[in-house]
Structure 1
Amino acid sequence: MTTLVPPLAWASRTYRVQTAATVVSGLGNAAAPIATAFAVLATGGGTAEVGYVTGARLLPTVLFLLVGGALADRLPRQRVMVAANTFNALSQAVLAALVLTGHAGLPALVLLSAAGGIGQAFYGPASQGVLMASVPAEHATRAFSIFQMARNAAQIGGAALGGALTAVVGPGWVLAIDAFGFAAAAALRLLIPAEEAGAGHGGASMLTELREGWREFVGRRWLWAIVVQFGVVIACVEATETVYGPVVAKEQLGGASSWGLAMAAFGLGMVLAGIPLAAWRPRRILLAGNWGVFLFAAPALALALHLSLPLLAVAMFAAGTGVTLFGINWMIALQQEIPPALLSRVSAYDALGSICLAPLGTALAGPAATALTLPGALWTCALTTLLLAALALLVPEVRTLARTEAP
């Protein structure tokens, strides 16, 4: 008699809860930036004020990431995630109340946006460690593919829902929904057994532990080489998606709706790529992932070449596919090569190095377009991305790092 095995029999309770909680909080978290931007505009602010509030969230994330990573390896990661989600729920609830009552001035918006960034700095490294510890190595490809599909789908749906709800009921209620989502995610993560999420330790000082994480980070050439690559690549991607893309859409493609369709194609590529990638098990994981980085340049190339909207959508779809291709194989490499007790600290160094230049990329996008012309700036972003993806292949470990488990 043939025994039927459930398709997700390999998925542990921790993995299921973590994925579900990520979807719940991701829906509201994707809608919140749209609602916050319109809340700023409703107070009489303009582009600069929206930038201040956006930057207020990113800066604390960068500043506190390393502390969050050390804490997540020091304490049970489940508790760190629950505390961070609860903190975000409270800060968003206060922000929602201020917006709904008409008392949300710019200082309050900046302060509460910064609070959200602090919560993310503590949540991110702990979440990464929990997810990787919950997945058996032999099922890593499938597990990370499903997780990425679920997270990306939540972000796409949340952004679309956020835009619609902000127009219908106003930004205050959307922020309230985000607060509820964080609270629900915290409640769900209480179901994760603390011992399965990293038991933590309390021996050495936090500074000593950060040094230990740094030694692990710089001691692996493939790790810091990819992170350095991404520091510049992400700055180019941010400049393209947040500055150049909307400008080109307004001048040549019919306006914001066209750029919205292009971004939707990008998100669709991220989600749909997870389906075939769940079954693909490349032997050389970093080599496979780095091919996806080449696709990151497709949107800038399409915009520089003045391609039509359908062709731009194809380029955006390809870039989304590249994001998922890289992301899945990068997570497999980290899970396989980094000791579990150091996962959160290494993830913090990874995140910090990858996003630290993003604000500079958006800040310099305007001056670069003035100095180089808009097509010149787009060509610079595209060629820089392609060059860095090629240079990464010069690192022997990027070409040769292989799976350790048998297919």
Structure 2
Amino acid sequence: MAASDEAAEGTVETGVVRVPEVCDEKHGQDRLPRDYTLWLVGILVSLVGNEVFYFALGWEASEHGGSVAALALSAITLPRVLLLLVGGAVSDRVSARRVLITGDAAMLVFSLALATAAYYLGATPLLLIATGVAVGVVDAFYLPASGSMPRRLVAKGQLPRALSLRQVGGQVISMGGGPLAGVLVGLVGFAGAAFVNALTFAFTLVVLIAVRPRHDVPRVPKTDGLLKEALSGVKVAFSHPVLRPGLLLTGAAAGFLLPVLSLLVPLLAREEEWGAGAAGLVLGAQGVGMVAVTLVVVRRGPLGRPGLMAASALILAGVGVLVLGLSPGATASVAAGLVIGIGNGTFSAHIAPLVLASSPDSHLSRIQAVLVLVQSSALLLMNNVLGALVDLRGATVVVVACAVMLVGVGLTGLASGPLETTERD
């Protein structure tokens, strides 16, 4: 980043840490750059393809039984987790844009080859598992690079609005992607879904070639080995006064909030005999609350000091989870879902730009790799732990326990000096 850019963005001086500003008045009111808008369109189109493809992969794998389905999905997760840190180091070394272009080109070729193979040979278990491995490997390099791109395309002051807009788009696609995927897979099958995915990768590839980062940073010199550079990202992340508590809050949200939505709501609905419709309404209300908050941030910018807002949002989400666990009926549970969504949306809209703005220019992709690793590891671990606890103690007890943990972590975040001293402008 040029010295003039750094001077324009500024920093906030505190007694213990010099924290990059997350928002300033001038940048907060400017329109987002054209290159960012174009990149976001490409990412969202690619996300539609992913929704269709992941549904098709799980659907075809389920035809061969639970073991094959689990292997196909684990084949994505395992290489992604193992290679994330290396992927972040590669992105910082050779530039995020090149990594994204290479990843999209590779997935375009792979998706076309997969569509051809599935059309002539069928979706065999070996083909599905190999597909999972290929997707997981590419994701390990693609996700850190993609996570760092907003910092390279917009000024730091615009990050809350830029990331919130991305979150809104992703949430809308996630809500509509399931039904769309079901229809498409029913019409064109696994081979057709792979071909649709290839088309979205082709579109995104063209977009990436056209996009030029406005706030790119110098690449890391090749003075150390790749593994040492990868581990450097972990060291920087957990020694930084703002990144460390920010990552811990993120891990807590991934471990105690996300499983409530994906795992515990269905189990609680079955235990309380609310029915599948009520469970769907809870998740829908959560989505509405989340989108509503992020739209406000897109329009107005951050709602307060990002660190304090993120910690307070976990407390609000924890209160919503507590109400959900103690709800006497389905109606109250839907209201609780709305509160959870508001807390979840507020947390995401403030913690993501805080982490990205606080990341050193030399470690943008590596910090994103650590962020994804923290989220993935916490979610993977707690899904299994909480599922086992439900079998032992029941869903209500586990939901209440998650609420207590969220409130406790949020209160701890409010007491964090570095998070307290981060300024909105």
**TM-superposition CA deviations, 1:158-212 (whole Å, max 9, x none):** 2331133334544443343223212221221111126755452443222343344
Q: Distance in 2 between matches of 1:78 and 1:387?
A: 39
* Among 154, 159, 163, the residue aligned to 1:135: 154
Q: Distance in 2 between matches of 1:262 and 1:114?
A: 33
User: What is the RMSD computed on CA atoms of the aligned residues?
Assistant: 2.7
Q: CA deviation at 1:252?
A: 4.2
The aligned residue for residue 325 of structure 1 is: 346
Whether the 8 Å contact between 2:314 and 2:344 is mirrored in structure 1 is yes
Secondary structure, aligned partner of 1:193 = coil
Whether the 8 Å contact between 2:118 and 2:191 is mirrored in structure 1 is yes
Q: How does 1:208-227 map to 2 (within 5 A)?
A: 208-227=228-247
The aligned residue for residue 336 of structure 1 is: 357
1:292 paired with 2:313, answer: yes
Q: Distance in 2 between matches of 1:260 and 1:29?
A: 22
Q: CA deviation at 1:306?
A: 4.2
Q: Distance in 2 between matches of 1:280 and 1:11?
A: 12
Report the AA paired with residue 15 of structure 1: Y
**TM-superposition CA deviations, 1:130-160 (whole Å, max 9, x none):** 2112112333333232222223222322233
Q: How does 1:225-244 map to 2 (within 5 A)?
A: 225-244=245-264
Q: What is the TM-score with the length of structure 2 in the denominator?
A: 0.83
Whether the 8 Å contact between 1:73 and 1:345 is mirrored in structure 2 is yes
Secondary structure, aligned partner of 2:31 = coil
* Among 76, 85, 95, the residue aligned to 2:104: 85
Structure 2: tracts of 5 or more residues without a match: 1-27
**TM-superposition CA deviations, 1:209-240 (whole Å, max 9, x none):** 33443342122233222323432431233433
Distance 1:91 1:392, change over 3 A: farther
Q: How does 1:374-389 map to 2 (within 5 A)?
A: 374-389=395-410
Report the AA paired with residue 241 of structure 2: R
Q: CA deviation at 1:99?
A: 4.4
Q: What is the TM-score with the length of structure 1 in the denominator?
A: 0.87
1:66 paired with 2:85, answer: yes
Whether the 8 Å contact between 1:29 and 1:158 is mirrored in structure 2 is no
Secondary structure, aligned partner of 1:104 = coil
**TM-superposition CA deviations, 1:345-401 (whole Å, max 9, x none):** 111112212221222222223321122222222222222222222222222112221
Q: Distance in 2 between matches of 1:89 and 1:181?
A: 8
The aligned residue for residue 394 of structure 2 is: 373
Q: Distance in 2 between matches of 1:175 and 1:254?
A: 37
Q: Alignment identity in percent?
A: 23
Question: Would you say how many aligned residue pairs link Structure 1 and Structure 2?
Answer: 396
Q: CA deviation at 1:254?
A: 5.5
The aligned residue for residue 38 of structure 1 is: 59
**TM-superposition CA deviations, 1:7-31 (whole Å, max 9, x none):** 9963223312221111111112223
Q: CA deviation at 1:283?
A: 4.5
The aligned residue for residue 41 of structure 2 is: 20
The aligned residue for residue 195 of structure 2 is: 176
Whether the 8 Å contact between 1:19 and 1:147 is mirrored in structure 2 is yes
Q: CA deviation at 1:307?
A: 4.5
Q: How does 1:90-169 map to 2 (within 5 A)?
A: 90-101=109-120, 103-169=122-188
Report the AA paired with residue 246 of structure 1: P
Q: CA deviation at 1:39?
A: 0.8
